[in-house]
Each structure stands twice: as structure tokens, then as C-alpha cells.
Amino acid sequence: MQLVLTSVFYAYNVSVFVSAAIDFGNKVVCKTRLVLYSLCAVRVTQTPMTLDELGEGLLLWENLNTELPTLEAKISPLFDQFAILDKYEVAVADDVRTMLMELPAKFRDFEQTLVDADVMLKKHKVT
């Protein structure tokens, strides 16, 4: 039960990761969400050793896959908001700008991770 709650917690944090990136004044929040996003991607790709772990992996994958369109929809507005900041010459820290520029590639990696995890979980579900 504890691992299921942990998986749901990770899925929730992935869903708020993109919106947390908007708060560029709070770098710790952005980096924390990035770490949780990475942990979630790692967790969903772990090979299940027990039936409980398989169930947890399937639940996490389902939650993440359901949130995928919502996450993707939040990326473009971020670039729009940063364009407005640039227009008015608002200073943005280099590390925040770097995180923004890496976001599309990280999202594509995350999508591929979900595809890979789906194949792996289905394989283990059958065996």
C-alpha cells in the first residue's frame, strides 16, 4: 500500500512539474520538481519483481499516461510567458533559462520512457 501511495505522489508531482517551472523566482521548487519528475520516470521503468510491484507499476504508468496531454499543453504557454519577460527585458537566471530550453527534450524523453515502460510492463503482465 505504501508503494502505491508513493507512486501516486510521484504522478501528482509530475503533473505539477511544468507549472512549477513557471515560478522562476524559486529555483529550489523548479529543481525539486525536476528531481521528482526524474524519479517518477525511473520508477515506472523498474522491472517488477512481485505481483504487487507490477500492479504499482501499471497504476503509475496509467496515471502518467493520463496526465501526458495536460503536461504537454503546459509547455507552450511557458515559452510564451518567457517571451513576454524577454520583451520587457526582465532578467531571468541562466539556470532557469537552461531548464526552460531543456524542457521540450525532457518531455520527449519522458514520452519515450512511458512507451518503453508500457512495453516492459505488458511483457511482465503476460509472463
Across the range 86-92, mean pLDDT stands at 92
Quote the DSSP letter at residue 50. S
Residue 110 in this model has a pLDDT that exceeds 50: yes
Whole-model pTM: value is 0.71
Q: Percentage of residues in the chain with pLDDT exceeding 70?
A: 70
Domain extent listing, the chain: 2-126
**Torsion angle defined by CA atoms of residues 85, 15, 110 and 91, in that order, rounded to the nearest 10 degrees:** 20
> Which candidate, 58, 13, 57, places its Cα nearest to that of 35?
13
Cell, residue 121:
510492463
User: Among candidates 122, 3, 115, which has minimal Cα distance to 64?
Assistant: 115
Cell of 30: 523548479
